[in-house]
Amino acid sequence: MSDHDPITQALAEDIGDGDLTSAHFVDADAQATATIIAKEDAVVAGAEVAAEVFRRVDSQLKVQIVCNDGVEVKKGDVVISVAGSARSILTGERVALNFIQQLSGVATLTRRFVQETEGTKAKILDTRKTTPGLRQLEKAAVVAGGGTNHRIGLYDMVMVKDNHLAMNGVNTTKAAADLQDRINRFKTEHPDIRIELEADTLQQAAAFLALNGVDVILLDNMSLGSLCEAVKLRGDKPVLLEASGGVSLKTVHAIAATGVDFISAGALTHSAVAVDFSLELIRTESNQIHEKH
């Protein structure tokens, strides 16, 4: 990883010029074993990230991942164990916990959304509403929870939203022809990149369904009735439909039951509550560390 990756930045932010507390109040030769324990039921995500934090702090630490990402754990389950220098373990403790708590929160919430849509064909998508600098990690946590990644950024998929359309006068016949021309030219230059158009009304969705080269239509903030109607309008056209807006754990099942292919929810990343984990540390003799690992 580069010097600007999230782990490097998080450690630099926390340690700065050094861990003053551990350096002055923990014996330099003190050895310990530590376990990161779930304090509540959850879906694990970020286990490898947390393990890497300890490795970055001290390559001599012996780190074992007990529960991999995507595993459901119960309160009291051990997720990671660490053995070696007590100072090093204490230095990495908070950053490791911060990562696994935040990412497991995303995975746990995603799993709940996925469970609510069981029995339907709808897949749960994330969005770009992620914590700056943590997008890749949070999107990996969505996958750990059973969700599906939408575009990673502005560079890997076209998403033509209402603000884009407004710049071209989308409500005119000429603008519709212009949009088709732009789609054609884009597909010629980038045949493998998907194009998604955002529709605010059924009328707009119908107009987009008449275009060629559209891969996905986003049905934004539509009622359940309108979503059902959009699915009927789609018929057997090879265009996927994504519902967005007003998505919560209370509404997602009804939205999925309309027959849409995807449901995107910014809440997966911007509203996930961190899962409670703790690190328990026990001082040991150095020969015990060596024998166990």
> Mind telling me the catalytic residues?
94, 129, 161, 198, 220
Most distant CA pair in the chain, distance:
80
Residues 6 or more apart from 272 whose CB is under 8 A from it? 102, 105, 106, 108, 109, 110
Which residues is 60 bridged to in the sheet? none
Q: What is the CB-side half-sphere exposure of residue 269 using CA atoms within 13 A?
A: 28
Q: What span, in angstroms and rounded, lies between the C-alpha atoms of 194 and 148?
A: 16
Are 247 and 124 spatial neighbours (Cβ–Cβ below 8 Å)? no
At residue 12's C-alpha, the angle toward residues 11 and 18, to 5°, is: 95
Q: What is the H or E stretch that residue 242 is in?
A: strand 240-244
Terminal-to-terminal C-alpha distance of the chain? 27
Residue of 151, 145, 52, 54 lying closest to 103 (CA atoms): 145
CA distances to 122, 163, 215, 232 from 229, in Å: 16, 24, 19, 5
Q: Which pair of structure tokens corresponds to residue 124?
A: 């749960």
Instruction: Write down the residue that tokens 């003190």 correspond to.
Output: 30
Are 139 and 128 spatial neighbours (Cβ–Cβ below 8 Å)? no
Are 138 and 131 spatial neighbours (Cβ–Cβ below 8 Å)? yes
